[in-house]
Amino acid sequence: MTGYIIKRLLSAIPVIIGLSIIVFAIMALIPGDPALAILGSYATPENVARINRDLGLDRPLYEQYFVWITNLLQGDFGRSFILNRPVIDEIMDRFGATLILAGTSLVLCSIFGILAGVVSAVRQFGWTDRIVTFFVLIGISTPSFWLGLLFILIFAVQWRVLPASGMYSVYGGGDLPDLLRHLVLPSITLAIVATGVIARLTRAAMLEVLRQDFVRTARAKGLAERKVIYKHAFKAAFVSIIPVIGIQAGFVMGGAVYIETVFQWPGIGAMLVNAISTRDILLVQGGVLVVAVSYVLLNLLADVAQALLDPRLKS
């Protein structure tokens, strides 16, 4: 098992290097001059040239990338142009909020997606299957940011039962119940699409397993249907579901970018939106790279978990 993990870690290195190149290239292609955002009304040609020289932005792109990646390997993400603080400090301050939102959404979509998929497969072609399939298709097809705005309109504006934005109340609050109240709408919004994907693939995996000979044998032995489904069929299908959960874990991490903007959640997503608007290059590059690496590591964990349940995959 150790050899398998090492092999998967080594295979992730080229992916991370490729991601770093893509992130750097995209930021380099975005129009605008960071020096203008820094200087504002003091942006004379002389000052702009001086800032670009001080920041190393007047160098060739390949040289800028080499300096950036060398500093990254030493744990130095650089310093934010606009905030005037280390990029890693800003990311760490925001990363916890993003983990809370993404982690809650992942738990919700995993539980409800698997339950919906199993029930839909067991009741294939029945009314339950049709209802679940209908809502799954609606969830997958509806943009998350639109759902977020709709939830705010209904639950925060009209009914006033849940807060519309933020992580804690401005006045008072700050405790766990206050956090949970603010977490309800963004976590559900972020989880809906992932729930639909997991439900559909769980249904497909369960239907494939239910047609296997060992399931027919278990039924022929007179085992209770509930035991056949949950002890035998679901256990076999779960091996195929784990990679799907790993992929959706990356989806909720990436989706947190715009959901945090809709709900003004103080995580990495909101930070990236502000950094892009101000052309804070190092902050954007560091934030995107952290999210991308998190996605790679989550998929790695899913692969390892799948290999633990199915030793045949280690070969």
Q: Above pLDDT 70, what percent of the chain?
A: 97
Quick check: 312 pLDDT over 70? Answer: no
Residue 293 clears pLDDT 90, i.e. is over it: no
Cα–Cα dist 259/62, whole Å: 34
In this predicted model, what pLDDT tens digit does every residue of 40-64 receive, in sequence order? 766 788 888 888 888 787 888 889 8
User: What pLDDT sits at residue 94?
Assistant: 93
Alpha carbon 269 to chain centroid distance?
A: 10
pTM beyond 0.85, yes or no: yes
Average pLDDT over residues 105-119: 94
Segment 183-201 mean pLDDT: 94
Q: What is the pLDDT of residue 5?
A: 74
Confidence label for 116 from pLDDT (cuts 50, 70 and 90): very high
- Is 1.10.3720.10 the CATH classification of the domain at 88-310? yes
User: Which of 265, 207, 268 is closest to 240 using CA atoms?
Assistant: 207
Average pLDDT of the chain, as a whole number:
87
Average confidence (pLDDT) over 79-92:
90
- The pLDDT score that the predictor gives to residue 223 is 84
pLDDT recorded at residue 303: 81
Residue 131 vs residue 232, higher pLDDT: 131
User: Which of 7-21, 87-101, 192-206 has the lowest average pLDDT?
Assistant: 7-21
At 108, the pLDDT band (50, 70, 90 cuts) reads very high
Q: What is the pLDDT of residue 131?
A: 93
User: Phi and psi for 86 in degrees, rounded to 5?
Assistant: -55, 135
Average pLDDT rounded to a whole number, residues 135-140:
90
Q: Residues near 293 by Cβ (< 8 Å), separated by ≥ 6?
A: 16, 19
* Range from 7-16, 120-129, 248-257 that averages highest in pLDDT: 120-129
**208 contacts 237 by C-beta, under 8 angstroms:** yes
For residue 79, the cross-strand partners are 86
Q: Which two tokens stand for residue 271?
A: 């930070």
According to the model, what pLDDT value does residue 39 have?
Answer: 76
User: Which carries the bigger pLDDT value, residue 304 or residue 181?
Assistant: 181
Average pLDDT over residues 242-264: 87
End-to-end Cα distance, the chain: 10
Q: Is the pLDDT of residue 314 over 60?
A: no
Cβ(120)–Cβ(203) below 8 Å: yes
Q: How far apart are CA 125 and CA 127, in angstroms?
A: 7
DSSP structure string for the chain: -HHHHHHHHHHHHHHHHHHHHHHHHHHHHSSS-HHHHHHGGG--HHHHHHHHHHHTTTS-HHHHHHHHHHHHHTT---B-TTT-SBHHHHHHHHHHHHHHHHHHHHHHHHHHHHHHHHHHHHTTTSHHHHHHHHHHHHHHHS-HHHHHHHHIIIIIIIS--S-SS-SS-SSS--SHHHHHHHHHHHHHHHHHHHHHHHHHHHHHHHHHHHTSHHHHHHHHTT--HHHIIIIIIHHHHHHHHHHHHHHHHHHHHHHHHHHHHHHT--SHHHHHHHHHHTT-HHHHHHHHHHHHHHHHHHHHHHHHHHHHH-GGGG-
C-alpha distances in Å from residue 257, one per residue of 98, 270, 311: 9, 6, 36
Is it the case that residue 210 has pLDDT exceeding 80? yes
Q: Read off the pLDDT of each residue in 96-103 and give the average, rounded to a whole number.
A: 93
What sign has the CA pseudo-torsion 22, 24, 25, 26?
positive
Domain ranges of the chain: 2-73, 88-310
Measured in whole angstroms, how far is the alpha carbon of residue 209 from the centre of its chain? Answer: 29
Q: Structure tokens of 148? A: 């977020």
3-state secondary structure 34-77: HHHHHHHHHCCHHHHHHHHHHHCCCCCHHHHHHHHHHHHHCCCC
For residues 288-296, average pLDDT:
86
Instruction: Give the integer Cα–Cα distance in Å for 181 and 162.
Output: 6
